[in-house]
Structure 1
């Protein structure tokens, strides 16, 4: 998207400079450096280019701190790294600002806060700029066709709502920045942060619902649609516990017949099956040997060593998450943490020493999510454990899988050394809709419908491909590794909940079942912390997690989660210095 925008701007500006130099003295009147030239952008081509630029910010604004502090597309820093799903990983001294996020002790001076704020409101600014130039173009001599102009405005308002949503899930209260014509006499920098922005987010999304087509505008994957706007608005209502308002939106998506679960679970992470029938809003990425518009966290989360060792070794799943994938002999989840056993892990065991992986029954989604010793790593080889990990005592024995280049035979879709890849991120998919609708069914006391919805997810997991390759030994000392590729890599077992299942015998049990299903289905996808907070169980879960982890991770000793302070991150000090109108979260004053 950025490449397209640059080409459009360069080509149009070059033409204008040639004309003005040869025909008049107008070339003496220069546009401000770094600003979009009104004479160029007040055109159908200019507006379309600006809209592409607004979409491009979905991945963040640069490849430096946006990888971590921005975390725009995936929310891996705030949604998973700050939860019981994952650790920061890598070495203890790397990215110190992340350490404070993980320990729930970030201060307003933390650079991550500044980067997240910047990335969110850069996206807002780009979205507003689209509308400013759209409306100016429609008043000029070369207006955009009316229907397309309405859709452009709807796309821009969808994006404006999206970027504000990304801000309000991290910060206590935010200013909702609209175009100058919408704000009237007040300047954007004078807008106070006196609300969470929900009313304005919902209004922009409703405009998008009313005016976007059901399929991607211009036939281009990655653009917002009516149903994408419905999904985001339903999610906004869930954040506010407005289940009665989320319900009809989710029902409309389900009843539309436009979406379905793909047959194979890992198709939601495979580059060869992107923009499939399950995807409702998918953030696009592209990469080649010379250019990329990639998810900025692809390189950081890859292993640092081993055949796939071209990353930095960040984003390591926790033992708590690993244990959550265990199942009973009936193939059902173990709902209560206290009833789970700690599965065998190779923490502290060198790769050259003997280690016996667990033979207990496991949900097959585990090994599509977590890279662990003795299991094939997407065709790159059998994961060797400690020798692939940058600093095991700090980050634990696991790595993530969902953001890798997918299978090794697809690894050509990479940039340069392979640090970036072209893997899309399925931000909203049909699986989200089904499990959110199950949440609402439980609160309606329609427990059987909730069970049916959850079973759709579990039936798909049961029928999906599993990771293959049974390893007879996991002692990586230079001797040959014997692998039976005709056998599953582990003891996989998953079944749907039967009629009369204890898990759906009461609302309390059913809540546990649906919440765990969401964790298993979307693990490491940047949702977990925000889900715990909106369910009101963040205090209970996260402090129990810290207590468990301090037994083998010194890094978390002395840490605690205080929901009166750490449930939101502080507004960046640098922004407060610039805008006197902004108020800091009282918990950080």
Structure 2
């Protein structure tokens, strides 16, 4: 692990300065304990430690009384298995609360929902504590003071943003409101202006942060601008009608163009380079959540996705977050190398459902987008650099299907030996340049040029079509772990499947055709990265897409029968009942439940 990794620095600094702002049974704050002294932290060294404590909440792990995956920043629970990308996976008896989430049975008493709220607002609390502590620090330069304030505002904006996409209405808690030693200060009603305040935090951070940071994991001005644009994109469409909000998209477009024109970022040559520990913090990365690549303990690894590993060795746990057949089908291409946007799910890509390990199997021979095999583990295809995927990878095929998640799993060289927590050492690219390009394409479709949108999508597809990035064919060896890579007569790697992907060579016939193409490309590019549920919601198409998806999937996964996404309700999650109960002030709860869940 690099010495400038913020995860490791946080762990050391938190001990050094004696931060005592963890969680007990409150959501937003904690009474001081043991040797905690606010005065002791009002120094240059102290406030830096408090800031690192706020960074420590970005990955969402490590809160007392909850599991790491319930507040994981990758959102595989709330943004993945609630969408058409994935099933809960594993078997029926494991983590049953997630089964309810997968079927859009969102309840205010669901512990995962409760702990997501709890973790995000703990992050808000720590960010505000940085700002308030900083006000009393004397032994610090004004330049560093300004940087700390900007970083804290970025983090506060990030935590509020993650909450705002989860819940229809949230409180916005700023430093003027928050008091670390007064629980009552966090009991505020939801804020109708939360989006504007989130935008403001990112804008003010961008105005001060440098264009580059010497230490990876700290945000730059471009990261702050990217999240400001993302906040605008989440307001870009009416969730009820799907109508575009021209003002928000125009504002986002200006920021996105500024990022593109900066020349700071470029697409990496190989798609896989966005998903391996060996290529972290590359030219496409705008903001990454940093994790350890090696450690004597698992504390600095990303334990939040620890469950979402195949059941086979070397992981052995736990089989969650399995890709859906619908997602796999989406990667089919036609003879022209383009996606089958309207017909992709009419038939299935061949799978090994119900087959035994010793049964012969030939993978699907039709044409496919090569990103499929960087996203999904499937029978007969090499799984990164471990072994050829087979039934051993799956805990219960009958329940959760034949596929495994792939993107968040590092290659062998970055696999630890100290348990499943240390096997999740890959950074999470929460903001990268391909997102900027596809958001800009969305804006161009609605308030700009269809031709420019096509050009942007073709940039993404051109990178995906690079044959150097195709998964290589492998032949099973004498043991389950053994394999031999296949080369042709010229010594070139033989692709693992019939990959065919091309660019859009002719203009789109209409705005509707362009919109479909851009949104479909977004799904292909970011499949299994925790964004899909929220993308469908912000576009205002969740009910149509997910109910159509479930009609077919219910015939494959019996437990999904009867599930239905309710338009105008399930785009958001209910405020946790415990949060409402504990918001009581002067005999009355300051938080009110979303009317859709009353």
1:519 aligns with 2:523: yes
Deviation at 1:7, TM superposition (A): 3.6
**1:214 maps to which of 191, 211, 214:** 211
2:71 corresponds to: 70
Aligned 1:503-518 pairs, distance under 5 A: 504-518=508-522
Q: Shift of the alpha carbon at 1:186? A: 11
Instruction: Give the secondary structure class of the aligned counterpart of 2:58.
Output: helix
Kindly state the Cα deviation for residue 311 of structure 1 after the two structures are TM-superposed.
2.3
- Cα distance, 1:478–1:532 mapped onto 2, change above 3 Å: closer
- Say whether the 8 Å CA contact 2:206–2:221 is kept in structure 1: yes
Q: Answer whether contact 1:190 1:581 (CA < 8 A) is retained.
A: yes
Residues 1:271 and 2:266 aligned together: no
**Structure 1 residue runs without a partner (length 5+):** 15-30
Distance in 1, Cα, partners of 2:310 & 2:345: 32
C-alpha distance in structure 2 between counterparts of 1:479 and 1:302, whole Å: 17
Q: Which runs of 5+ in 2 are unaligned?
A: 1-5, 20-30, 237-247, 488-492, 584-588
CA distance in 1, matches of 2:15, 2:532: 42
- Does the 8 Å contact 2:250/2:447 carry over to 1? no
Please show how residues 172-571 of structure 1 align to structure 2 within 5 Å: 172-180=168-176, 187-195=184-192, 197-216=194-213, 219-241=214-236, 242-286=248-292, 287-305=294-312, 307-337=313-343, 340-384=346-390, 386-405=391-410, 407-412=411-416, 415-416=418-419, 419-444=422-447, 446-463=449-466, 464-471=468-475, 484-485=486-487, 486-500=493-507, 504-571=508-575
Instruction: Please tell me whether residue 581 in structure 1 is matched to residue 590 in structure 2.
Output: yes
Structure 1 contact 173–196 (Cα < 8 Å) conserved: no
Partner-residue secondary structure (3-state), 2:429: strand
- Write the distance in 2 (CA, Å) between the matches of 1:179 and 1:418: 34
Please list the CA deviations of residues 196-239 of structure 1 after superposition, one character each: whole Å capped at 9, or x if unmatched.
Answer: 610110111111111111112xx101101111111111111111
Q: Closer, same or farther in 2 for the Cα pair 1:480/1:442, shift >3 Å? A: closer
CA contact (8 A) 1:298 1:419 kept: no
CA distance in 1, matches of 2:392, 2:177: 58
Contact between 1:351 and 1:477, CA under 8 Å: does it hold in 2?
no
Match of 1:234, SS state, is helix
User: Quick one: structure 1 residues 505 and 190, their matched pair in 2 at CA, closer, same or farther if it must change by over 3 Å?
Assistant: same
Quote the Cα distance in structure 1 between the aligned partners of 2:434 and 2:374: 16
Contact 2:330/2:345 (<8 A) preserved: no
SS of structure 1 residue aligned to 2:88: strand
SS of alignment partner, residue 465 of structure 2: helix
Cα 1:569–1:480 change in 2 (3 A) is closer
Counterpart contact for 2:189–2:590, Cα < 8 Å: yes
How far does residue 273 in structure 1 lie from its aligned partner after superposition?
1.0
Moved more, 291-300 or 158-167: 291-300
The two structures have a TM-score, normalised by structure 2, of 0.88
Q: Is the 8 A contact 1:5 1:50 kept in 2?
A: no
8 Å CA contact 1:435, 1:514 repeated in 2: yes
Distance 1:89 1:478, change over 3 A: closer
CA distance in 1, matches of 2:345, 2:425: 40
CA distance in 2, matches of 1:293, 1:182: 29
Secondary structure, counterpart of 1:276 in structure 2? coil
* Deviation of 1:4 (Å): 3.3
Displaced runs of 4+ in structure 1, greater than 6 A? 476-482
Tell me how large the CA RMSD over aligned residues is. 2.5
Match of 1:47 in 2: 47
Query: By how many angstroms is 1:482 displaced?
Result: 7.2
**Between Structure 1 and Structure 2, how many residues are aligned?**
557
- Asked if 1 retains the 8 angstrom alpha-carbon contact of 2:387 and 2:483, the reply is no
SS in 1 for 2:451: helix
Cα deviations by residue, 1:215-268 (Å, 9 ceiling, x for unpaired): 12xx10110111111111111111111101101110110000100001111111
- Report deviation, 1:537: 1.0
Q: Distance in 2 between matches of 1:9 and 1:449?
A: 48
Deviation of 1:74 after TM superposition, in Å, equals 0.7
8 Å Cα contact 1:60-1:66 kept in structure 2: no
Query: What is the rounded CA distance, in whole Å, between the counterparts of 1:315 and 1:262 in structure 2?
Result: 27
Q: Report the CA distance between 1:2 and its aligned residue.
A: 5.8
Deviation sequence 1:479-521 (CA, Å, 0-9, x none): 9977635421111111111134xxx111111111110111011
Alpha-carbon distance change, 13 to 429 in structure 1, aligned in 2, over 3 angstroms: closer
Cα gap change, 1:383 to 1:586, in 2 (>3 Å): same
CA distance in 1, matches of 2:530, 2:176: 33
Give 1:353 shift: 1.8
Secondary structure, in 3 states, of the residue corresponding to 2:288? strand
Residues 193 and 549 of structure 1: is their aligned pair in 2 closer, same or farther, counting only changes over 3 Å?
Answer: same
In structure 2, the partner of 1:17 is: none
Q: 1:347-378 deviations in whole A, cap 9, x for unaligned?
A: 12222222221100111111011000000011
Aligned counterpart, 2:106: 106
Q: Match of 2:117? A: 117
8 A Cα contact 1:373 1:382, kept in partner: yes
TM-score (structure 1 length as normaliser): 0.90
Seen in structure 2, the aligned counterparts of structure 1 residues 80 and 12 have a Cα distance that, compared at 3 Å, is closer
SS of the aligned residue for 1:315 comes to strand
Contact 2:329/2:345 (CA < 8 Å) preserved in 1? no
User: Could you tell me how far apart the structure 1 residues matched to 2:373 and 2:18 are?
Assistant: 51
Distance 1:535 1:9 in 2: 41
